Homo-oligomer: A and B are copies of this chain.
Amino acid sequence: MRVYFTFDPRPDLKDSLVKDFPEVDFVFHKKIDEEELAKAEVLVTYGEDLDDEKIKIAQKMEWIFVASAGIEKMPHRAIAERGIVVSNVRGIHKKPMAESILAHLLSIKRALPFIYKNQQERIWSQKTKLYELNGSTALILGPGAIGGEVGRMLQAFDVNTIGLNRNGESAPYMNETHTIDKLKDLLPKADIVISILPSTNETRYLLTYEDFTLMKDSCIFMNFGRGDLVRTEDLIKALEEKQIFHAVLDVYEEEPLPRDSKLWEMDNVTISPHISSRSSRYLERSFEIFKPSLRKWMNGERDIENKMDILRGY
Protein backbone atom coordinates (compact mmCIF):
# COMPACT_ATOMS: atom_id res chain seq x y z
CA MET A 1 0.00 0.00 0.00
CA ARG A 2 1.11 3.51 -0.80
CA VAL A 3 0.65 6.47 1.56
CA TYR A 4 1.46 9.87 0.11
CA PHE A 5 2.20 12.87 2.34
CA THR A 6 1.99 16.26 0.59
CA PHE A 7 4.17 17.73 3.34
CA ASP A 8 7.42 16.66 4.93
CA PRO A 9 7.04 15.88 8.65
CA ARG A 10 9.75 16.12 11.29
CA PRO A 11 12.37 13.36 10.88
CA ASP A 12 11.62 11.70 14.23
CA LEU A 13 7.90 11.43 13.42
CA LYS A 14 8.61 10.17 9.92
CA ASP A 15 11.08 7.57 11.15
CA SER A 16 8.75 6.18 13.77
CA LEU A 17 5.97 5.90 11.18
CA VAL A 18 8.17 4.06 8.69
CA LYS A 19 9.39 1.78 11.45
CA ASP A 20 5.88 1.01 12.73
CA PHE A 21 4.50 0.23 9.26
CA PRO A 22 7.22 -1.65 7.36
CA GLU A 23 4.59 -3.03 4.97
CA VAL A 24 3.60 0.44 3.76
CA ASP A 25 5.33 2.51 1.04
CA PHE A 26 5.51 6.07 2.33
CA VAL A 27 6.19 9.01 0.06
CA PHE A 28 6.91 12.44 1.54
CA HIS A 29 6.85 15.50 -0.69
CA LYS A 30 6.72 19.17 0.11
CA LYS A 31 4.42 19.78 -2.85
CA ILE A 32 1.68 17.79 -4.51
CA ASP A 33 3.07 15.69 -7.34
CA GLU A 34 0.64 14.37 -9.94
CA GLU A 35 2.58 11.20 -10.66
CA GLU A 36 2.63 10.27 -7.00
CA LEU A 37 -0.98 11.27 -6.60
CA ALA A 38 -2.01 8.75 -9.26
CA LYS A 39 -0.33 5.90 -7.39
CA ALA A 40 -1.35 6.50 -3.75
CA GLU A 41 -4.24 4.82 -1.93
CA VAL A 42 -3.95 7.10 1.11
CA LEU A 43 -3.27 10.83 1.02
CA VAL A 44 -2.12 12.86 4.03
CA THR A 45 -2.55 16.59 3.45
CA TYR A 46 -3.20 19.90 5.18
CA GLY A 47 -6.28 20.10 2.92
CA GLU A 48 -5.35 23.13 0.87
CA ASP A 49 -3.70 21.49 -2.14
CA LEU A 50 -6.62 19.63 -3.73
CA ASP A 51 -9.08 20.48 -6.49
CA ASP A 52 -11.44 18.63 -8.86
CA GLU A 53 -8.65 17.98 -11.33
CA LYS A 54 -6.37 16.43 -8.69
CA ILE A 55 -9.12 14.13 -7.46
CA LYS A 56 -9.56 12.93 -11.05
CA ILE A 57 -5.84 12.13 -11.27
CA ALA A 58 -5.88 10.33 -7.89
CA GLN A 59 -7.48 7.24 -9.35
CA LYS A 60 -6.51 4.84 -6.59
CA MET A 61 -7.29 7.21 -3.72
CA GLU A 62 -9.51 5.66 -1.05
CA TRP A 63 -8.79 7.71 2.06
CA ILE A 64 -7.72 11.30 2.64
CA PHE A 65 -6.35 12.15 6.09
CA VAL A 66 -6.52 15.90 6.63
CA ALA A 67 -3.95 17.05 9.19
CA SER A 68 -6.02 20.14 9.99
CA ALA A 69 -9.50 20.91 11.25
CA GLY A 70 -10.70 22.95 8.30
CA ILE A 71 -11.78 21.31 5.04
CA GLU A 72 -13.23 24.46 3.46
CA LYS A 73 -10.73 24.47 0.62
CA MET A 74 -11.29 20.87 -0.44
CA PRO A 75 -13.29 19.83 -3.54
CA HIS A 76 -16.20 18.41 -1.52
CA ARG A 77 -18.39 17.16 -4.33
CA ALA A 78 -15.64 15.47 -6.32
CA ILE A 79 -14.47 13.63 -3.21
CA ALA A 80 -18.01 12.60 -2.24
CA GLU A 81 -18.80 11.32 -5.73
CA ARG A 82 -15.78 9.07 -5.65
CA GLY A 83 -16.74 7.81 -2.20
CA ILE A 84 -13.30 8.65 -0.82
CA VAL A 85 -13.17 8.40 2.99
CA VAL A 86 -12.11 11.65 4.66
CA SER A 87 -10.94 11.99 8.25
CA ASN A 88 -9.34 14.91 10.03
CA VAL A 89 -7.69 15.94 13.30
CA ARG A 90 -10.79 17.43 14.92
CA GLY A 91 -10.17 18.30 18.56
CA ILE A 92 -6.47 18.85 18.06
CA HIS A 93 -6.85 22.60 18.62
CA LYS A 94 -8.66 22.22 21.91
CA LYS A 95 -5.79 22.47 24.38
CA PRO A 96 -3.56 25.06 22.66
CA MET A 97 -6.56 27.29 21.89
CA ALA A 98 -7.92 27.11 25.43
CA GLU A 99 -4.46 27.86 26.85
CA SER A 100 -4.17 30.91 24.59
CA ILE A 101 -7.55 32.20 25.72
CA LEU A 102 -6.60 31.80 29.38
CA ALA A 103 -3.19 33.35 28.70
CA HIS A 104 -4.75 36.51 27.26
CA LEU A 105 -7.35 36.79 30.01
CA LEU A 106 -4.84 36.39 32.81
CA SER A 107 -2.34 38.66 31.10
CA ILE A 108 -4.84 41.52 30.99
CA LYS A 109 -6.03 40.94 34.55
CA ARG A 110 -2.48 40.71 35.93
CA ALA A 111 -1.05 43.67 33.97
CA LEU A 112 1.47 41.79 31.83
CA PRO A 113 1.35 44.32 28.95
CA PHE A 114 2.25 47.03 31.51
CA ILE A 115 5.08 44.92 32.90
CA TYR A 116 6.53 44.12 29.45
CA LYS A 117 6.30 47.72 28.28
CA ASN A 118 8.08 49.09 31.33
CA GLN A 119 10.83 46.50 31.05
CA GLN A 120 11.63 47.73 27.52
CA GLU A 121 12.28 51.15 29.02
CA ARG A 122 13.97 49.92 32.24
CA ILE A 123 11.16 51.45 34.26
CA TRP A 124 10.40 50.05 37.72
CA SER A 125 6.80 51.06 38.29
CA GLN A 126 4.05 49.62 40.44
CA LYS A 127 1.55 52.24 39.35
CA THR A 128 -1.11 50.11 37.74
CA LYS A 129 -4.22 48.21 38.73
CA LEU A 130 -4.05 44.46 38.96
CA TYR A 131 -7.36 42.66 38.73
CA GLU A 132 -8.36 39.08 39.45
CA LEU A 133 -9.99 36.55 37.16
CA ASN A 134 -11.67 34.56 39.92
CA GLY A 135 -15.25 35.52 40.65
CA SER A 136 -15.93 36.64 37.07
CA THR A 137 -18.79 35.53 34.86
CA ALA A 138 -17.92 34.37 31.35
CA LEU A 139 -20.33 34.04 28.45
CA ILE A 140 -19.14 31.41 26.00
CA LEU A 141 -20.57 31.55 22.50
CA GLY A 142 -20.13 28.06 21.11
CA PRO A 143 -19.50 25.71 24.05
CA GLY A 144 -18.30 22.78 21.90
CA ALA A 145 -15.02 20.90 22.25
CA ILE A 146 -12.86 24.03 22.51
CA GLY A 147 -15.46 26.00 24.46
CA GLY A 148 -15.79 23.15 26.92
CA GLU A 149 -12.04 23.06 27.49
CA VAL A 150 -12.08 26.83 28.03
CA GLY A 151 -14.98 26.34 30.46
CA ARG A 152 -13.07 23.66 32.35
CA MET A 153 -10.08 25.94 32.81
CA LEU A 154 -12.23 28.95 33.73
CA GLN A 155 -14.06 26.93 36.36
CA ALA A 156 -10.70 26.03 37.90
CA PHE A 157 -10.27 29.81 38.33
CA ASP A 158 -13.70 30.05 40.01
CA VAL A 159 -15.25 31.70 36.99
CA ASN A 160 -18.99 31.25 36.46
CA THR A 161 -19.47 29.90 32.92
CA ILE A 162 -22.58 30.47 30.82
CA GLY A 163 -22.75 28.69 27.47
CA LEU A 164 -24.87 29.82 24.54
CA ASN A 165 -25.68 27.30 21.83
CA ARG A 166 -28.39 26.56 19.29
CA ASN A 167 -30.61 24.30 21.35
CA GLY A 168 -29.79 25.44 24.88
CA GLU A 169 -28.89 21.87 25.87
CA SER A 170 -26.49 21.68 28.79
CA ALA A 171 -22.84 21.50 27.76
CA PRO A 172 -19.81 20.24 29.71
CA TYR A 173 -18.12 22.73 32.09
CA MET A 174 -20.89 25.30 31.74
CA ASN A 175 -22.65 26.38 34.94
CA GLU A 176 -25.63 27.26 32.75
CA THR A 177 -26.47 26.86 29.08
CA HIS A 178 -29.02 28.89 27.14
CA THR A 179 -30.16 29.25 23.55
CA ILE A 180 -28.37 31.86 21.49
CA ASP A 181 -31.52 34.05 21.30
CA LYS A 182 -31.01 34.86 25.00
CA LEU A 183 -27.85 36.73 24.03
CA LYS A 184 -29.10 40.27 24.70
CA ASP A 185 -30.42 39.28 28.14
CA LEU A 186 -27.12 37.74 29.15
CA LEU A 187 -24.60 40.24 27.75
CA PRO A 188 -25.08 42.73 30.63
CA LYS A 189 -24.15 40.01 33.14
CA ALA A 190 -20.85 39.02 31.55
CA ASP A 191 -17.40 40.14 32.65
CA ILE A 192 -15.97 38.17 29.74
CA VAL A 193 -17.53 37.30 26.37
CA ILE A 194 -15.70 34.62 24.37
CA SER A 195 -16.70 33.52 20.90
CA ILE A 196 -15.42 30.29 19.43
CA LEU A 197 -18.27 30.13 16.92
CA PRO A 198 -17.63 28.83 13.40
CA SER A 199 -18.77 30.91 10.44
CA THR A 200 -22.28 29.93 9.37
CA ASN A 201 -25.30 31.82 8.06
CA GLU A 202 -26.54 32.09 11.65
CA THR A 203 -23.33 33.38 13.19
CA ARG A 204 -22.30 35.81 10.44
CA TYR A 205 -22.58 39.34 11.91
CA LEU A 206 -24.36 37.88 14.92
CA LEU A 207 -22.82 40.58 17.15
CA THR A 208 -23.68 44.18 16.38
CA TYR A 209 -22.67 47.54 17.76
CA GLU A 210 -25.78 47.47 19.96
CA ASP A 211 -24.61 44.25 21.60
CA PHE A 212 -21.40 45.96 22.69
CA THR A 213 -23.40 48.77 24.30
CA LEU A 214 -25.16 46.09 26.36
CA MET A 215 -21.87 44.73 27.71
CA LYS A 216 -20.30 46.06 30.91
CA ASP A 217 -17.72 48.86 30.57
CA SER A 218 -15.33 46.44 32.28
CA CYS A 219 -16.06 43.57 29.87
CA ILE A 220 -13.32 41.72 27.98
CA PHE A 221 -14.45 40.50 24.56
CA MET A 222 -12.52 37.71 22.82
CA ASN A 223 -13.07 36.56 19.27
CA PHE A 224 -11.31 33.24 18.67
CA GLY A 225 -13.91 31.84 16.26
CA ARG A 226 -14.32 33.54 12.90
CA GLY A 227 -13.74 37.12 11.81
CA ASP A 228 -17.21 37.66 10.38
CA LEU A 229 -18.90 37.36 13.78
CA VAL A 230 -18.93 41.17 13.94
CA ARG A 231 -18.40 43.95 11.39
CA THR A 232 -14.99 45.53 11.99
CA GLU A 233 -16.51 49.01 11.89
CA ASP A 234 -19.03 48.09 14.63
CA LEU A 235 -16.23 46.71 16.78
CA ILE A 236 -14.04 49.78 16.27
CA LYS A 237 -16.89 52.13 17.12
CA ALA A 238 -17.65 50.25 20.35
CA LEU A 239 -13.96 50.22 21.31
CA GLU A 240 -13.46 53.91 20.53
CA GLU A 241 -16.42 54.71 22.76
CA LYS A 242 -15.00 52.43 25.50
CA GLN A 243 -18.22 50.46 25.58
CA ILE A 244 -16.04 47.60 26.81
CA PHE A 245 -12.68 47.41 28.58
CA HIS A 246 -10.68 45.35 26.10
CA ALA A 247 -10.96 43.16 23.01
CA VAL A 248 -8.63 40.28 22.24
CA LEU A 249 -8.90 39.29 18.60
CA ASP A 250 -7.41 36.26 16.92
CA VAL A 251 -9.59 36.38 13.77
CA TYR A 252 -10.60 39.23 11.48
CA GLU A 253 -12.95 39.97 8.61
CA GLU A 254 -9.86 40.39 6.45
CA GLU A 255 -6.71 38.41 7.18
CA PRO A 256 -3.93 39.42 7.49
CA LEU A 257 -5.41 42.44 9.23
CA PRO A 258 -4.68 45.36 6.84
CA ARG A 259 -1.71 47.44 7.91
CA ASP A 260 -3.83 50.61 7.96
CA SER A 261 -6.53 49.17 10.24
CA LYS A 262 -7.31 51.35 13.24
CA LEU A 263 -7.36 48.24 15.41
CA TRP A 264 -3.57 47.94 15.44
CA GLU A 265 -2.96 50.94 17.63
CA MET A 266 -5.92 50.95 19.93
CA ASP A 267 -4.92 50.69 23.59
CA ASN A 268 -7.85 48.47 24.41
CA VAL A 269 -7.21 45.87 21.71
CA THR A 270 -4.87 42.90 21.44
CA ILE A 271 -4.09 41.78 17.89
CA SER A 272 -3.25 38.09 17.81
CA PRO A 273 -2.41 37.08 14.22
CA HIS A 274 -4.67 33.99 14.05
CA ILE A 275 -2.12 31.80 15.83
CA SER A 276 -3.93 30.86 19.01
CA SER A 277 -4.51 27.25 18.00
CA ARG A 278 -0.93 26.67 16.93
CA SER A 279 1.27 24.34 18.85
CA SER A 280 4.74 22.88 18.67
CA ARG A 281 3.02 19.59 19.43
CA TYR A 282 0.61 19.82 16.52
CA LEU A 283 2.21 17.30 14.20
CA GLU A 284 2.90 14.92 17.08
CA ARG A 285 -0.81 14.97 17.89
CA SER A 286 -1.78 14.52 14.24
CA PHE A 287 0.38 11.43 14.14
CA GLU A 288 -1.23 10.16 17.32
CA ILE A 289 -4.55 10.26 15.46
CA PHE A 290 -3.19 9.05 12.13
CA LYS A 291 -1.28 5.99 13.28
CA PRO A 292 -4.14 4.03 14.91
CA SER A 293 -6.33 5.00 11.97
CA LEU A 294 -3.79 3.66 9.51
CA ARG A 295 -3.52 0.45 11.55
CA LYS A 296 -7.30 0.03 11.34
CA TRP A 297 -7.27 0.80 7.64
CA MET A 298 -4.63 -1.88 7.06
CA ASN A 299 -6.85 -4.34 8.94
CA GLY A 300 -9.71 -3.55 6.61
CA GLU A 301 -11.65 -1.56 9.21
CA ARG A 302 -13.26 1.65 7.98
CA ASP A 303 -14.68 3.14 11.22
CA ILE A 304 -11.64 5.35 11.72
CA GLU A 305 -11.42 8.28 14.16
CA ASN A 306 -12.84 11.65 13.07
CA LYS A 307 -14.36 10.23 9.87
CA MET A 308 -16.32 13.05 8.32
CA ASP A 309 -19.24 13.73 6.07
CA ILE A 310 -17.46 15.82 3.48
CA LEU A 311 -20.67 17.34 2.08
CA ARG A 312 -22.01 18.44 5.46
CA GLY A 313 -18.61 19.78 6.37
CA TYR A 314 -18.09 18.06 9.74
Contacts and interface: CB of A to CB of B under 8 A. Distances in A.
Interface stretch (A9-17, A63-71, A74-82, A276-284): A276-284
A99 B279 contact: no
A35 interface: no
B112 A104 contact: yes
B128 A280 contact: no
A113 B107 CA distance: 10
B273 A130 contact: no
A127 to B, nearest CB: 9
A116 B103 CA distance: 13
A1 interface: no
A27 interface: no
A257 B99 contact: no
Contacts of A128: 275
B276 A110 contact: yes
A156 interface: yes
B116 A270 contact: yes
A134 B271 contact: no
A273 B112 contact: no
A122 interface: yes
Given A99-B132, A115-B272, 17 more contacts: A95-B134, A96-B130, A96-B132, A100-B130, A102-B102, A104-B110, A106-B107, A110-B276, A119-B264, A119-B270, A124-B256, A128-B275, A129-B280, A130-B275, A130-B280, A131-B279, A131-B281
A107 B103 contact: yes
A23 interface: no
Contacts of A99: 106, 109-110, 132-134, 157
